[in-house]
């Protein structure tokens, strides 16, 4: 049973579509896993409710809202570009 609902912003969907297929599939599975565990091992806290997970060279930046329970993915990209 998934405890959290995962929402992906349209801009993040475009960023995901720009990633090569093999990497895209891995990132999609990683994002899907956030529904069961929004703070998985290896997750790094960036601010009060903002987190980051790594998948290879790529990073997924997301917000966790425990009150509603939902995870909002708002940025996906290569590690050297995602923080700019």
Beta-ladder partners of 58: 55, 78
Q: For the chain, what percent of residues have pLDDT higher than 70? A: 98
Specify the CATH superfamily of domain 5-78. Answer: RelE-like (3.30.2310.20)
Please give the model's pTM, rounded to 2 decimal places. Answer: 0.90
Q: Which value, to the nearest 10 degrees, does the dihedral of the CA atoms of residues 10, 83, 61, 66 take?
A: -110
Q: Which two tokens stand for residue 58?
A: 């790529």
For 30-56, how does the pLDDT look when each residue is reduced to its tens digit (9 = 90+)? 999 999 999 999 999 999 889 999 999
């Amino acid at each position: 049973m998934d405890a959290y609902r995962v929402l992906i912003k349209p801009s993040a969907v475009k960023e995901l579509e720009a990633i090569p297929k093999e990497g895209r599939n891995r990132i999609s599975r990683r994002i899907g896993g956030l529904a069961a565990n929004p703070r998985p091992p290896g997750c790094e806290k960036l601010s009060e409710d903002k987190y980051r997970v790594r998948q290879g060279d790529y990073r997924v930046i997301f917000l966790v809202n425990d009150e509603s329970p939902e995870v909002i993915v708002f940025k996906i990209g290569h590690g050297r570009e995602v923080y700019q």
